[in-house]
Amino acid sequence: MTGRLSVVGLGPGNSHQLTPEADAIVSAAGALFGYGPYLDRVPERAGQRRHPSDNRQELYRAEQALNAAAEGETVAIVSGGDPGVFGMAAAVCEALDRGPTSWRNVEVAFVPGVSAMLAVAARVGAPLGHDFCAISLSDNLKPWEVVEQRLEAAAAAGFVIALYNPVSRARPWQLERAFSRLRTILPDTTPVVFGRAVGRQDERIAITQLSAAQGNSADMATCIIVGSAETRMIERPGSCPLVYTPRGTARPTA
């Protein structure tokens, strides 16, 4: 007998942005797995087993959860934001792909959520209003030169760029390096949005220009949006400016 594994997106971090679907599945699970701070967002329920694990233990966590589901449990793994965007969904698939064939009989479901870049964008207007990309700056699992190639290709082709995993204790210099590369391609005035812990009590939003963007202005809880050459700001009296990328473009990019 096998159970069921759901890979659930908790959204940005407040209950108003948690979908009823995700809430129901997390509530009904017999066992919960996840990175500790994400699990802490889920209210305690009697009879529900909780298995917190550390950051960077994604594959181990996925294997533990698949094991429990294969033994008949109703299991949920929680991710912040959307589990399919630099969250636990890919780690679960990797574990399934490498693991015992019996795991392929486990019923697996993926439950989407509002990802960080969407929540950050909504705070300032519509910076992702036209073609855009999402890049993880982590070089734990890919060479840094691939990160730089993708940054340059995206900026040159006119994509707005959302940066995930911009910095960590073990990766202090990557974000500044990314800004440096982007400055060789994009105008100095390109809007840059830093969105930290959006939707949570310690939320912090900052809007600046690429020439002034600093690599030490972010932490692990920050998602950064770098505009394209077409991204604009609208000043408003008494309110924060709006940042948006128009829906169309008149001219081919270089």
Strands (E), the chain: 4-9, 31-35, 49-53, 74-79, 107-111, 125-126, 132-136, 160-164, 191-196, 204-209, 222-226, 232-236, 239-244
- Nearest approach, Cβ of 3 to its own copies (angstroms)? 15
Stretch that binds its own copies, among 67-75, 122-130, 169-177, 180-188 (CB under 8 A): 122-130
Q: Which 164-223 residues touch its own copies, going by CB under 8 A?
A: none
Stretch that binds its own copies, among 34-42, 156-164, 180-188, 208-216 (CB under 8 A): 156-164
Q: Which 6-25 residues touch its own copies, going by CB under 8 A?
A: 9, 11-12, 15-21, 24
User: How far is 225 from 207, CA to CA, in rounded Å?
Assistant: 10
- Binding to its own copies by CB under 8 A, coded x per residue (else -) over 64-93, reads ------------------xxxxx--xxxxx
Q: Which of 112, 93, 90 is nearest to 21 (CA)?
A: 112
Residue 115 has a CB neighbour count (10 Å cut-off) of 25
User: Per CB under 8 A, does 159 bind its own copies?
Assistant: yes
Point out which residues pair with 32 in neighbouring strands. 50, 76
Among 26, 29, 111, 223, binds its own copies (CB under 8 A): 111
User: Per CB under 8 A, does 131 bind its own copies?
Assistant: yes
| Residue 81 φ/ψ region, left for φ over 0, alpha for ψ in the -120 to 50 degree band, beta for the rest | left
User: Per CB under 8 A, does 36 bind its own copies?
Assistant: no
